[in-house]
Structure 1
Amino acid sequence: MIRKIQCFDDVSSMWISKKKRIMLNMITAASLWSIWTLRNDFCFQGRSWRGLGYGLAKLKGNLQKWTVLCDAAQVEVLRRFVLLLHKHRGELLRVAWRDE
């Protein structure tokens, strides 16, 4: 069972035990990479914001490219994640800092 990520502290806490959470770390890395390349598209390619769907499509594409790094069970986890991403694509996404 994967716990719900509510803030960036939750994301960074998973990097400590990377062998236990290899797939979650891969999905997080792909998400951050997708955001970075989306930012580069805005800054250097002159692209404009087309909506959240464009960013999610970029993430989906990155995850599909990264399946070569996975064994069969891990590919299934990525496939399920992409299906969940597609299912919840209309929901508002939010990353926040944990309240202290």
Structure 2
Amino acid sequence: MTVDNLSRRGVIKPLECQFCLDHESVNHLFFECVVAQYIWKLFHSFSGVMISSYLDLASKWPCEKKFALTNSISAGILWGLWLTRNDFVFNHQAWKSMKTVIRRIWLIMVDWKPMYQGDLAQGMDRWRSFLEEALKMPLALGC
């Protein structure tokens, strides 16, 4: 749960986004935060598909076959952002760099590899290779 949801349930955690220190909400964590925006820009560079909101994501779901790669990668991005954020909140890990998030997403894609076959498996392999190259490069934002 994001800290706004936790606080409504009486669980006190920091109200700040663990990535950028703005107020955390679901929308902020996954789309508005500078870290999320950076990851979605990486995805855009890879795929040509721009994702900047839940509406952008949801519009792809009914066209599952046409956007199977986009939907699979998007799920991995959301899960990677969520798990990395939870490491900060619940496991007291500290922010190191944008590469921490990219590496987490890459690991998710490796774990999910057995689920994919055919063209989708090839697309996921290309995405993992793209992330590997991103991990080798100096990153913008001082991250």
Q: Give the TM-score of the pair, scaled to structure 2.
A: 0.56
Contact 1:14–1:25, Cα closer than 8 Å, also in 2: yes
Q: Tell me by how many angstroms 1:44 deviates.
A: 0.5
Which residue number in structure 1 is paired with residue 130 of structure 2? Answer: 84
Q: 2:93 aligns with which of 47, 51, 55?
A: 47
Q: 1:58 aligns with which of 82, 104, 112?
A: 104
Which residue number in structure 2 is paired with residue 4 of structure 1? Answer: 49
Q: Say which SS state the counterpart of residue 16 (structure 1) adopts.
A: helix
Cα separation, partners in 2 of 1:4 and 1:72, compared to 1, 3 Å: closer
Give the stretch that moved more between structures: 4-13 or 14-23: 4-13
Give the stretch that moved more between structures: 78-87 or 44-53: 78-87
Q: Tell me by how many angstroms 1:91 deviates.
A: 5.0
> CA RMSD for the aligned pairs?
2.1
Unaligned runs of 5+ in 2: 1-46
Unaligned runs of 5+ in 1: 94-100
Deviations 1:11-45 (A, max 9, x none): 33212312221121010001000111111101110
Which residue number in structure 2 is paired with residue 96 of structure 1? Answer: none
Kindly indicate whether structure 1 or structure 2 has the higher relative contact order, using CA contacts under 8 Å at least 6 residues apart.
Answer: 1
Q: 2:74 aligns with which of 22, 28, 31?
A: 28
Contact 2:98–2:139, Cα closer than 8 Å, also in 1: no
Cα separation, partners in 2 of 1:4 and 1:19, compared to 1, 3 Å: closer
Q: Distance in 2 between matches of 1:66 and 1:6?
A: 21
Structure 1 letter corresponding to 2:103: A
Structure 2 letter corresponding to 1:48: A
Q: Give the TM-score of the pair, scaled to structure 1.
A: 0.78
Q: Distance in 2 between matches of 1:51 and 1:88?
A: 13
